[in-house]
Structure 1
Amino acid sequence: MTLPPPNCELMFRPGMRYGWPNRDPVDIFVADVGAVNLATGRLVVRDNDWWVPDSGHDVEAFTEEIPAGRYRMVLSLVGFDERGVGLRGAAAKVVIREEPAVSWEMALRPGQDPSKLGEGEFFGFGVDSGQGRFLDVTALPLLRRFQDDARDEWEGVRDDVMRDGWAEVTDAESGLNVILFDCGMGDGAYPTWIGRSADGEVVCFISDLELLSHSLGPIG
């Protein structure tokens, strides 16, 4: 059996407490961090520093497409107050419809076949910077421009994520944006889940940043 989805409802319940090994319980903070402009309805989730290639952008977007629009983004953050660690990302969500999800499936990119996965395995996005981002596939050239021409500014944005748990970069001309977020477990690979309503419509995408999988579970 492939990796099962987490309890996404509890991950985004403000004030929910999770037990933690060898330390006090931690609380969930939920932050509404604006809206991501999905100009084509094709969502990309990726690492901040991985180089954007000159071509082949289509393989970066999920195969599940949604109507073009601006969609609310919400972060689940855990408050670690000891030793100045601060808020760490537990999960990141793009809200497509304001209704509950009753079923979950793994978000896939072109060529990914879940039937080939083994026990507990998943397809996810790799992280080497400790941070991820949500963006439309057409915003990849914006990211590439930052990588080419604005490294100092980009470092400032990354510092904002480390301080606040998230940051946003917007292109004034196109209106496209990139919303960055802290990955609570740092470098690694993280799955994204599609939540569907009772009638099968997409209601959200949730990237589980796996921080809470290292907890002792919810305690109320």
Structure 2
Amino acid sequence: MPITAPDYSRYFTDGTSFACGRDMTGTLSAVRVGELALSTGQVVACDPFVYLGSGDVEPFTVAVEPGRYAVDAAVATLVRPGAEPESRPHTRVAAVRLVIRDVEVAGWELALLPGQDPAELGEEEYFGYGVDAGTGCFYDASAENAFPGTQEEKGAVWAAMESVGHGPDVFMAQGEDGHNLAGFTSGWGDGSYPTWIGRAADGSVACFLTDFFVVPHESESESETETGAGAGAETEVQAP
């Protein structure tokens, strides 16, 4: 069967600990990225430095009411037991969620693009978006052309990323005509990452959540997590 969602609520519970196959232990904390404007309610997720403004990405098939919604990151602080303390904490963005309703999630489903059918997925497969520049993002479909110069390594998204400094690698970029974008580094780096839709008990959308596979799923072995993004799983990748 296709990949299944773990208990993501613990990812956003401060102090949650885990072990990963890089001989490290991690502690999770929730970090507010910012507030995302969705003027149409059509959500796009992609690597902004590769695909933003290209015209080659589509919004997910599930849309929400237009509005402004919080974006939170689950940031893992990683240490090697017995190692000397580092001058700067080693952090990785484990997952990011776009909160539509701040309610308990009763169930998860893969966020899909037009033409994607979960019935076509095989064992441990998933639909996800490709990352080639180590970064993911959320934005409204109407903001596709609001960040000129991104693919030429200039403009608002690059400036926002470079302003992060030594903090967690999450940022908000302000584009043209009131549009904005929530950006974040993608776990261990490049790969293919699934976005999930969390639904409340009444069936309404509670959140969109991208998993960067920093926290091993229970079904993964240590060897599967050592190679990072989607290790050990066959992947179906969005083809921008």
Separation of aligned partners in 2, 1:22 and 1:71? 34
TM-score by length of 1: 0.87
Aligned equivalents of 2:11, 2:143: Cα separation in 1: 28
In structure 1, give the amino acid aligned to 2:126.
F
The residue number in structure 2 matching 1:79 is: 77
Q: Distance in 2 between matches of 1:3 and 1:148?
A: 32
- Matching of residues 1-220 of structure 1 within 5 Å: 1-21=1-21, 23-52=23-52, 55=55, 60-80=58-78, 84=88, 86-143=90-147, 145-147=148-150, 151=154, 154-160=157-163, 163-164=166-167, 165-171=169-175, 174-213=177-216
Which amino acid in structure 2 is aligned with residue 158 of structure 1?
M
Change (3 A) 1:131 1:195: same
Deviation at 1:51, TM superposition (A): 3.6
TM-score by length of 2: 0.80
Hey, what does 2:232 align to over in structure 1? Answer: none
Distance 1:55 1:26, change over 3 A: closer
- Distance in 1 (CA, whole Å) between partners of 2:152 and 2:132 is 21
Cα pair 1:95 1:204 within 8 Å, conserved: yes
Structure 2 residue runs of 5 or longer lacking an equivalent are: 80-84, 223-240
Runs (5+) with no aligned partner, structure 1: none
Secondary structure at 1:184 match in 2: coil
Give the root-mean-square deviation of aligned CA atoms: 2.4
Higher-helix-fraction structure: 1
Q: Kindly state the Cα deviation for residue 54 of structure 1 after the two structures are TM-superposed.
A: 5.8
Kindly tell me: are residues 80 and 118 of structure 1, through their superposed partners in 2, closer, same or farther at Cα, counting changes over 3 Å?
same
**Counterpart contact for 1:161–1:181, Cα < 8 Å:** no
Residue 118 of structure 1 deviates from its aligned partner by: 0.8
The one-letter amino acid of 1:177's match is: N
Aligned residues: 213
